[in-house]
Structure 1
Amino acid sequence: MAETSSPTVWRRWLAFELTRLRKAANLEQKDVAKALRCTTAKVSYVENAERPVMLRDLEEVLLPLYDVPAEKWPKYLQAARDSRKKGWWESYDTDALPDWFSLFVGLEQGASQLRVYEAQLIPGLLQTSDYAVEVSRRSTMERAQEQVERHVEVRLGRQEVLRRRQKPLRLWAVLDEAVLRRVVGDVRVMLEQLTYLRQAMEQPKITVQVIPFRGGAHPGMVGRFQILDFPWPGDPGVAYVEHRAGAVYLEGAGEIEAHIVTFEHLCALALSPDDSAKMVESIAKEYS
Structure 2
Amino acid sequence: MARQELARFLRERRAALRPHELGLPAGLPRRTPGLRREEVAELAHMSVDYYTRLEQARGPRPSPRILDGLAQALRLAPAERSHLFRLAGTSAPPPATGAVRRVRPHVARMLRRLPDTGAIVTDATYGVVAWNPLAQALLGGDLATGAVNLARRRFLAEGPARESSSEEEFGHIVVARLRRAADRYPHDPRLAALLDRLQADSEEFRHLWETRPVHAPGHRTKVLDHPTAGRLRLNCDVLLVPDDDQEVVLITADPGSPSARTLSRLAAH
**TM-score, length of structure 1 as denominator length:** 0.26
Higher helix share: 1
Look at both structures and tell me which one has the larger radius of gyration over its CA atoms: 1
